[in-house]
Structures are given as C-alpha cells and as structure tokens.
Amino acid sequence: MPSAREIAYGITRRVNGEGAYLSLLLRYGMDPASVDARERALVTELAYGVQRHRGRMDFIIAAFSRRDLEDLDPAVLDMLRLGIYQLTETRVPQHAAVNETVSLTRRLLGRGAASYVNAVMRNACRGMEGLPWPSRDDLPAFLETRYSHPRWLVEYMLRLLGPQQAEALCDADNAIPPLSLRVNTPRGSADELLEEIVDRGGSAGLSACLGEALSDVKIPYGELLALLEAGRCVVQDESSMLVAYALDPHPGQLLIDACAAPGGKATHLAVLGGERCRVIAVDASESRLAALRNSVARLGLSNMDVRLGDSRRLAETVAEEADGVLVDAPCSGLGTLRRNPELKWRRGPGDLEELARLQSDLLRGAAARVRRGGSLVYSACTFTTQETTDVSGRFLGECGEFRLAGQLQLWPHLHHVDGMFIARFDRT
C-alpha cells in the first residue's frame, strides 16, 4: 500500500509531467476504501502545497543545489519540491522530512538520486536562515518568490491592478478556498441539507447571497461523496452560480449552454428554469459529455438534452433559436488559482490571445442561435483583459444586433469567490 507521501509524489508527477488536473486526481484518483481520511488530508495538503508554493520551493532548491534546475531530472526536481515543502511549510520535523523524502527517493528513483536529494535537503536545513530573499525594493521579484507566481503573471497583475491589489490577489490565490455546495432544490432546500450535514458530523453556513448555496462546508469526505452520489447537491463556487442567474431562466424558455461540460452551470439553468424550461447542453468533448450525462441522471433532471457539437458552428448542432444562450468559454482559468494552482505554471502570455480568439469564435457561433429579444451570456473564470473586456468589446463591434446589458468582474481578494467575468448581451 503506497504511503501518503508516495501518493502525493505520484500526483505531483502526473500534474507537472503529463498536464493532469490536480483537483480531478485528488477527487477521483484515490480509492476511499484504501486511503483513510487522515492520509487523504495529508496527500491533499502536500499535493496542493507543492503547486501553490512551487516557485518558492524552486528558489530554495536553486540556492542549495549544485546543478541548475533546468539540468535536474524532472522526477528528482518534483521529489525535492515535495521534500522542501515539508521542510519549510509544514510542522513535519526536519529529520522526518529529510529521512522520509530520501527513503522515498531511494525506493522510487534509485541510490544516486537519493544521495543528491539528501545533499540538497541537508544543505537547506543548515542554510535556510541565511538565505537572501528578494526585497520589496524589487517588487516583481519579491512577489514572484513570496507568493510563488511566475514573473510574467506578476508583472501582468502589477500593470492591471497596481502594487497593493496585485499583492492582495497573489495572497488570495494561495489561500485554501472554502467548500461551497449548490443544493439540488428539487430534492430539498438549503436548510434541509444543512441539517443533514450537521447530522452527518459536519458544519456549513447558508449563503448570504444565494438561496440554494451552502458556504464554508466542512464534512467528512465519505459523507460528502454520499450526498453527491444521492444528487442532493453539487460542488460549485458561488461565482459560478451567479452565471446562470445572468441568463434569468424561466418556465417555457429554450436555453442553450454552448460549452456545457462538466455541467455545473447547465444543470443549474435546468433547475432555475423548472421542468417547463428546456435546456440543450452542447460540448465538443464526448468524454466530458459522459460526465455531464452522469450529473444529469444523478440530479434527476428531465428537461435537459445533451448533444455533441462544436459551438463555433452552433447552428449545425441546434436548429432552433433560443431565448438564451450561455457561452462559459474555455479560458486561462487564472481566476481559479485557489482551486487550480497548477494553472499558473501551465499558462503563458501567449495563451491569452489564443484563448481570446477561441472565445470570440464561440460567441459568434452562439449568437446565431439567439432569437430576437433573447440574450447571450458570456462568462470566463479569469480576469485578463484579453479574455474578458477585449472579447466583449470585439463582439459588440462585430454583432450590431446585440447591446451590452451589463458586465462584472468578481475577484478572489475582493469578493472571496473565484475570479469570474460575466457579460450579458441582449439581441434587439
């Protein structure tokens, strides 16, 4: 049976080496029957901690390694990140952090790698107090190492927000976000689910803004799985819940979610609109649609129609014109770094323009299916101007039949939710 540290290392390797998504590996990559709650908590802390503080760990490793980071075997570098994280950011005693990491390295990577890891970690133990960190006088370098954000992103934030807001956002990105649940209201109210969570040994609070939301949920993992499997709720941030409200679903309407998988917003539309509201959920990925179909079945929704299609040409998939179309567009995800910290190491400045072009193509394709008097909602879980206001402005310039009804940007450091941009365009 692998230890928690070995599981965390395997997850780290898959995230950094294969581009896997951390949250999905943690949710679906551990068998609840073979990993108990204490081990799961340690795996989660280590795997998330390494991604949140990777830049800081790399700064330390570079200071105590006789080889450049670029020359290190990626498998060894990830092992060092895991070891240095335990050494500097957890309550694990120094000797235990070193011994456990070296032992794991010897078993998985061999004696030569273990010898190197041992040398770097022992150098770090002896020299950490004298390590020369960047000062605030060089703010980009300070933010880069203090908050573990890549330099390009730090400089982007500084230009966009200024020093104080940029630092607050960096800090918020590294915070552990609270768990929010969207209650499946056809199967019970928020008050009823809150009472059941307490009965199952947990706690939560009613949302101050949304009647179907529970915030700051704390519940044993197995009990949470049971509630999710029973279709009582879904895991969803409150900023994501607001997107469905922007489309204002009503009975009798036809709505389209043009980028629907994995289905959080599409199923929310179906619930808010009621049984007499029909929702067509379209996505280009068959595997992601399979997950969406499972969600629809689990939540017991009978007013959803799931279709495979490329929404850049939405008219090829849906013949009818709709009262409302949602484009929750693929984006950099930089507004969700609290939950997906690996994205800050995966994205680069070149991605922003490429994703913005895709978002514009999706908006043009979706607009063709909005009836006169209907609405088009565009959302993206990010804050870069290329992916938000630039796309919105370009769409309005190209599609004169639409007018801007409103748009807003939510921020982790200001609103304590995921960073989310939402714009609504009404067709005249």
Residue 233 is among the residues annotated as catalytic for this protein = no
Exposed/middle/buried for residue 164 (C-beta within 10 Å: 0-12, 13-18, 19+) = exposed
Exposed/middle/buried for residue 131 (C-beta within 10 Å: 0-12, 13-18, 19+) = exposed
Catalytic residue among 170, 259, 331, 381: 381
Across 233-365, where does the E strand assignment appear?
233-235, 254-257, 278-283, 304-308, 322-328
What is the pairing mode between strands 203-206 and 254-257? Answer: unpaired
259 vs 325: CA distance, rounded Å: 10
Cβ neighbors of 381 (< 8 A, separation 6 or more) are 239, 240, 331, 333, 335, 336, 418, 419, 420, 421
Q: Quick count: other Cβ atoms within 10 Å of Cβ 333?
A: 22
Which of these, 6, 245, 185, lies nearest to 108 by C-alpha position?
6
Active site residues: 381
